[in-house]
Every structure is written in C-alpha cells, then in structure tokens.
Structure 1
C-alpha cells in the first residue's frame, strides 16, 4: 500500500460541501495556515505528486517534517468530518450520546448523564444496534450502582444485556451460514444442504432479514426461480413495513429489489422489471436521503445498468439507445464520482446493443473507448470481453488486415492477465483463421468452431457474447 498517497485519496473522496466545511473548520481557532495551504495544493492534483508539493512549498520550514504535517492534516480532516457527519446516522448519534454520558458521569452530573443514557438506549433498541446497546447498558448499570446500588434494577439491566448478547450470537450464526453458502457456490457443492436457522417472532428484524436472504440465495442458486422470486418479494415487503430502517440502511432494501430484478431478467419477465427500477430510484426522495450523496449516485448507476441489460436481452434497441444518451449526460456531470467499473460496464453495454442492432461502426466506437482509455486493472473480465467482441466487429466491418493485429493484441492482453480458458483460446483460433482465409473458406471454419463450442462449456463468455448465435447466423442454421 502506498502510504504517501493516503492523504491524497482522503481529500479526493470529499464532496464539495465537505471540502467547504473543512476549510471553515481549519480556519477556526487560529490553526496554522500551512495545513489549509497543503490541503488546497493536494486537492488540485489529479495524481499525488509529492515532488510538486515540495516544489510548491520550497523554503517553508514545515517541509523538513512534511510527513508530520500530513499526519496532522489527516487527523484534522477526520475531526472535521466527524463534526460534519455527527447527525448523519443513528450509530453516530448513539456514539455521541455515550461520549456525553461519560463526560457527564465524570463530572458527577448524574441526572444529565441518565437522560443521555436513556436516549441512547431508546435509539439502540429501536434500530437494533446491539453492540452499542450492550455498551449503553454497561453505562446504565455503572450509573445505577453509583447512584443507588439497588440490585433489582441492576439485575434487570443485566438481563437485558444478556438478551442483546444472545441476539448478537444469533446474527453471528446467520452470517456464518451466508459465508458457507458463498463457499459452497465457489466450490460447486450442493447448497441445498444448507438450511437457514429457525426464526421466530421474538427475533430481531435483522435476523428475519438474514433468514429470508439465505432462503432466497439457496433457491436462486439451486435453480428454483419461483422460490427465489417469492423470498425476494417477502424481503421487500418486510423492509417496507419499517421505513425508518430503510432510511438508516437503504442498501439492504435496494439489494432486495435488485435480487428480484436479477431473477426476473433470468426468466425474461421484462414487464415486471420497470416498476421495480422506479421503486429503487424513488428511494432517496421517498425516504429523505441526502440528495446527490455517493449512495444516490451509485443507486442511479445500478439501475441504469440493469435497465440497459433489460433492453439488451429483450432486443429493445431503440429504448436502449435513448437510455444511453441519458447515461452519457449523467456520467459527464459526475465523472469523478463514478468508479471505472461502472464506466466499463456501460461502455460494454453500449457496444453490445449497437452490435445486436448491426450498427457495427457505433459498436466499434464504444469498444475503442474501452480498449484505448487505459482502465488499468478495473473489471478485467469486461475488458477481455470487449476485446473479443472487437474481433467480431472488425470481421463484420471487413477490416481483415486490422483483424490480424487485433487478434495478436487480444492474445497478449489475455495472456498477461492469465485469461486462457478453452473457450477463449477457441475464439482466438477462430478469428486468427478467418483473418488469413479467403471468404470461400469461411464456412468450414465457422462449422468447426461451432462444433467445438457446442461440445464444451463456454460459461460466462456466452453470457456476455452470444458467440453461438453469431456462428449460427453466419452458417444460416
């Protein structure tokens, strides 16, 4: 890990409003202006360049201990962000109340301390923050013993602590089961043998959520799409009964809807998907989340991707193209906030839709955006599929000379990243042969490759590129 760049990454992660707040915060209390100047210089960099920083502040005394200044600036940013986001979550509020209780207890202001503890307990109970509830109850016990030392009250507190710990153990069991399911999937073992632990009315909401999620996962990966749809629907309906919970943790709700959409995509029930996409997009407004925060941006990215996939799979190309323009505007306005993984996925979806539409030049444009833009190690699988689709597009455009170079380039890319399964090798052999053959020899090459693909498992390649369908069309099967 490059520790020198950590401060740069922290500054880059801040929103405009967070940066504005930090500048005000840093200027309070007569703090050394060097910290704010260093912040501004790093903030303007596209990549961290310590030599440029040293050149900028040449002659300043603090350069002799730049690492110390950077550590202090990091701590100052974190302190400012704690203040800025003090009321951003229930957990933050409870933690602040616990800190208040500790300060008031040490000052022997027991009535004020008690009011803070009760408020923290109420929030921890309501939102099932079990670890924090245990911490709150320990302070409640300590305060009770200090004021009165009455055993019955302490015993009631201890009993509640014990219940909270028991519920934490139940949640731990559920999380272990989720991890076992993931391991079973990766190992290609039978996940039907994994059963979710029994859940009752006295269990926490989180336990019920995990119980249903495990059942959904088992049915989905066992191929029982009806069961998967049923359990994903149950989870959505359960969460919607607790709007406060969605406001505090919108990720679980969005994931539940996304899981249902995934199954509906698999079974081609297209008409049921748009209302679910709209429901996801309504989350920030309906549950009063911060506008344009990172969650909201990623929520839109997520739904854009799903909607594109739906139009691609349902062959509704014109709707897909209209959506592409909307996505491009969205990206242009927020490029620095959008991870490369999403950009790659969008560009690939654009290329795929144009390819299906036989608009090969437009497809090639987006493939070139992937191949020539230097995405590094981001989504190497998508980068690989883009290069394979690029071979097909060049063939369709009759760019045979370019195709020869593209095959070699694709081979080097795949070899460097150790993507060398049988299906990929066969694709390379197919286009290597086509690039060196006369058109009259194409059909035997198509048939030979089709036979090999039909006899083997081509896995994810077929999911991203319908290579069999393309060969069938070439052979007019």
Structure 2
C-alpha cells in the first residue's frame, strides 16, 4: 500500500542528514546483536526509497506483515534517541533536563547532598536562561529532598525555597495567561483574518481586555515580555492597526537584540518576530525601513553561529522569500518581482514536507498578484486556480475570498468573458457562504456583471463611477482590508489613465514619500 510520503517514520528518515544517518548506524551498531536487526534493515530500505511503499519493505526484509507496525515503532524510537544524543540537537534546555534527571537518580539512591548540589547549578542555569518552568520543577524537587533530609546548608533554606517557588509560580502563571491569549488571537487571525465589522471588533477587544493580566513591566523577564508583545501584536493585526503592529513587532525583535543569547536559545521566535516586523512595515509602506530590516534579518541568519536545522532553514526560506516579494508590491515594481518566482518555486519543492499548505497558497497568491500587476493575466489565473481548486484548504478564509475576486478581475482583463457569468455566480455564492460579502466585493461583482451591457465608448465613464464609489471605503476601518489583498483602486486608475498598474502604484509611492 502506497501512502506517498505521508508515513511518519518515512518522513523522519528522509529528514535525516548524512551525519545523522551515520551516527544512527553507529548508535545501533554499538552491540553486535543489532547489526542484522530487523529495525535496521527496515531503516536501510526506507533510506533508499523515493516514495513510501509498505509492500517493498516486506519484500526487501524478513519482517512479517504482522510484525511491521512494532518494528517501525521501535525504529522510530531508536532514531529519536540517536538524535537526542547528537551534539547538534543539544541546547540549554536539554542540558538542564539532563542535570534534573541526574539529580533525581542521585536522590533515589539516597545521595541527597550530591543531588542538591546538581540541582542548585541546574536551577541557576535555568533562571539565567529564562527557563522558569524548569526552574520551578527543580525547586519543587529541592523541597521534596529538604522535607526528607534537613541539610542545614542554608539556615533559612525552607523559607528561601518557599519564596522562590512562589515567585517562579507567579511568573509562570503570567506567562501561561499571556501565551493562552496570544495563541487564541493568532488562531482567529489564521481562521478568519482581520475583523470584518463593528460587532467582531467589539468582541475581539472585549476578549483581549478581559484576558490581559494586570502587569508591572519592570517585574517581567524576557519570557513574559515576549508573550506580552505577541498578544498585543496579534490584537493589533486583527484590528488592522498597523502602526501598533510595527510598534510591538519592533519591541519583540529588539528584546532579542537586547538579550542576544536568547537568539540562539529561541531562534524560531526571533525569526517570527522579524517576519511580523517586516509585514507591518510592508502595510505602512515604509520601503527604506523595510529594506533595512530585511538586510538586518539576513545579516543575522547568515552568521556562522546562528542555529542550524531543517525547521530553521524552512522558516528562513519562508519569511525571507515572502518579504523579498513584498518589497516589489510597496512601490509597484512588479516586473522585477517576477524574476524571483522560478527560484522560489524550485525551492518550494525542496521544502515540500517542511511548509504547510496554507503558506504554499500564500506564495501562489503573491505570484498571482505579481503577474496581475505586470499585466500577465493568464499566468495570474493559473496560480489562482491552484488556490481555488484546493478543496482541503480550511485556513485563511480571507485568502480564499480575495483569490476569487482577483480571479474575476483577471478573467475580465484577459478577455476571457465567455464563462464570466458562471464565475460571477460561483464567486457570489462562495462569498455569501463565507460570510465575507462586503461592500467592496458587492460593488466589484455588480460592476463586472454590468460590463457586458456597456458600449466601449462608455467604459471609462463606468470605471470612474466605480472608482468614486470605492474611494469612500479606502480608509473605512473594516472595508479597507479588501485593498490590502487587491489594490482595486490602482487598477481602476490604470484603466482610466491608460497606464500600467505598476506605474500608478509607483507614482503613489513617490508622492507619499515626497
């Protein structure tokens, strides 16, 4: 039975580097009995496979079908143990956990003083590196030992441990509340995008204010501040308050620059902070600062001491390329942006198993928008079809909606009006189903439907009428989000002035910064 690269063990084997594979074979070969073990033979077959095939495993090894599930489970566990022992996967957290394990072993052997000595060093390491959950766990074990064996190493040790446990517990509770709030807001962004109306705006604001704990910033450490800035950032994004998005994303990134050792300990959070900082700068159209921050991003991630790994490489690819593309939208230089597409598509294949479908669809929407801006309407339609035909995509409803609206406009521009009426009906039904039929979309659909009955000499007059209608929504708190995904205003102006869309966007950008 073929599962086409969806088997978890197969994906894990394929993610291993040459050095990790070599270490695994050394690890399982440390005892001669493993040399011909069934799980090692399964590993060797999986390593050579291009596509997962259960029948090929059974044919190439002496593993029976009823044994395969157990052998695979054992192999999966052995690979993880091998990876855990690999120096490249060792970090402060694993070092602290290892010391905690050693201390627990010593405690159970009755060697209390030795256990407490290790715990004290591990606790200091945990606190310095903002690993307060681990620090709390260490203090709790210290309390257990003290309750059974009075060391008298510190005269007021019981009071000291009690106070320390209370302080760590309070900070962990704050972090938990902030991380819960941040995660819930992020979930709303992924599911529905920005707030769509006054009712949603009030609901999100109430949700945010009710769950934001009362804080004294001066008493917070790195970890608590990080989650605080994240929560504010997601709230600002939901409300389309892009200046505050920039403010809190900058605080997030600067927090890492003020605590440089945290970049190595939390590289994913560092990368995500930079991603949202660049996204905020893109929305406020500040290209000089955008280019500066993009250069800073690559300067840091290209340093030899920046953490390496498959997940890190995938995120650098993802965020870096999103914003390489975005820079061309700011000033309308779409033609230049098209040069990026072939290279990114090639790399997308390489990162196929590391990047989720949602982010792949965002790439396709950006590719489509670049082609639309450059006047390549058929190419635009081809990329949009990859999104529209993806029936399993359940996230980012706003992305799905605006893909259909852009698809309508691109079909009109390409002169493919022979099935425009069918497209109009399906788009209209989809937007109603998604509860996303707002004034901008209504006006666009009504306009495109009416184009078929307009004489050629009257077309510009109709474009001007639509432009006047849509202009009133350009700064509307809820309707303006349509223009973040699709710059309809610039498209209309290009039709009226007989100029390329890119030229209209560039003129606006230059005028804005003049």
- Residue 422 of structure 1 corresponds to 437
2:426 to 390, 408, 411: 411
Q: What is the root-mean-square deviation in Å for CA atoms of aligned residues?
A: 4.3
Say whether the 8 Å CA contact 2:358–2:393 is kept in structure 1.
no
How has the CA–CA distance of structure 1 residues 250 and 413 changed in structure 2, closer, same or farther, with 3 Å as cutoff?
A: farther
Gapped regions of structure 1 (runs ≥ 5): none
- Aligned counterparts of 1:19 and 1:438: Cα–Cα separation in 2: 69
> SS at 1:377's partner residue?
coil
Q: In structure 1, what is the equivalent of residue 510 of structure 2?
A: none
CA–CA separation in structure 2 for the residues paired with 1:380 and 1:204: 33
Matches within 5 A, 1:219-368: 225-286=242-303, 288-324=305-341, 326-328=343-345, 330-331=347-348, 334-364=351-381, 366-367=383-384
1:270: Cα distance to partner? 1.3
Task: Map Cα deviations across residues 403-453 of structure 1 (whole Å, 9 max, x no partner).
Answer: 577x38x93997599547435677667656667988678679868977886
Structure 2's unaligned 5+ residue stretches are: 499-514
TM-superposition CA deviations, 1:243-266 (whole Å, max 9, x none): 111211123333333333333222
1:313-354: CA deviations, max 9, x gaps? Answer: 321224423444553454455445444433332232222122
Residue equivalent to 1:155 = 159
How far did 1:117 drift? 2.0
For 1:380 and 1:56, how far apart are their aligned partners in 2? 44
Conserved in 1, the CA contact under 8 Å of 2:242 and 2:280?
Answer: yes
User: Bigger shift: 46-55 or 28-37?
Assistant: 46-55
**1:168 alignment partner, one of 169, 172, 177:** 172
Which segment is superposed worse, 277-286 or 300-309?
277-286
Match of 2:512 in 1: none
Q: What residue number does 2:227 align with?
A: 210
Answer whether contact 1:170 1:207 (CA < 8 A) is retained.
yes
SS of the aligned residue for 1:422 comes to: coil
Say if 2:136 and 2:168, in contact at 8 Å, map to a contact too: yes
Matches within 5 A, 1:26-45: 26-29=28-31, 30-31=33-34, 33-43=37-47
Shift in alpha-carbon separation, 1:39–1:87, aligned structure 2, 3 A: closer
Shift of 1:208: 2.9
2:281 and 2:287 in contact (8 A); partners too? yes
> Contact 2:38 / 2:63 at 8 angstroms: preserved in 1?
no
After superposition, what is the alpha-carbon deviation per residue over 1:368-397, rounded to whole angstroms, capped at 9, x for unaligned? 66668x685376754664454344334323
Name the CA distance, whole Å, in 2 between partners of 1:139 and 1:26.
34
With over 3 angstroms needed to count, the CA separation of the structure-2 counterparts of 1:260 and 1:133, relative to structure 1, is: same
Which deviates the most, 104-113 or 277-286? 104-113
**Structure 2 SS opposite 1:198:** coil
Instruction: Give the TM-score taking structure 2 as reference length.
Output: 0.74
Q: Write the deviation string for residues 21-78 of structure 1: whole angstroms up to 9, x where unpaired.
A: 3343334422253212323444555665445544555xx4532332222222222223
Q: 2:205 aligns with which of 187, 191, 194?
A: 191
The aligned residue for residue 91 of structure 1 is 93
Q: Report the counterpart of residue 118 of structure 1 in structure 2.
A: 120
Cα drift, residue 181 of structure 1: 6.1
C-alpha contact (below 8 Å) 1:229/1:263 kept by paired residues: yes
> Deviation at 1:141?
3.8
CA distance in 1, matches of 2:60, 2:462: 62
Q: Residue 485 of structure 2: which of 456, 464, 471 is its match?
A: 464
Report the Cα distance in structure 1 between the residues aligned to 2:205 and 2:384, rounded to whole angstroms. Answer: 38
Contact 2:460 2:496 in 1 (8 A): yes
Q: Distance in 2 between matches of 1:370 and 1:429?
A: 24
- 2-structure distance, mates of 1:327, 1:404: 35
Per-residue deviation at 1:95? 1.0
CA distance in 1, matches of 2:97, 2:177: 26
Tell me the equivalent position of 1:24: 26
Which shows bigger deviation, 103-112 or 440-449? 440-449
- CA drift of 1:163 comes to 1.9
Aligned length: 470
Secondary structure in 2 aligned to 1:265? helix
- TM-score normalised by the chain length of structure 1: 0.79
Judge conservation of contact 2:287–2:330 (CA < 8 Å) in 1.
no
Q: Secondary structure at the match of 2:156?
A: helix
**1:143-174 per-position Cα deviation (integer Å, ceiling 9, x unaligned):** 55666543633332233222211221232343
SS of 2:64 mapped into structure 1: helix
Give a deviation string over 1:73-113, Cα, whole Å, max 9, x none: 22222322322368532221111111112223334455653
Which SS does the other structure have where 1:188 is aligned? helix
104 and 179 in structure 1: CA distance in 2 versus 1, 3 angstrom threshold: closer
C-alpha contact 2:381 2:407 (8 A) present in aligned 1: yes
Deviations for 1:228-279, whole angstroms, at most 9, x for unmatched residues? 5444434433331211112111233333333333332222211111111122
Where does residue 107 of structure 2 map in the other structure?
Answer: 105
Aligned twin of 2:71: 69
- Taking a change above 3 Å as real, the CA distance of residues 415 and 23 of structure 1, as seen in their structure-2 partners, is farther
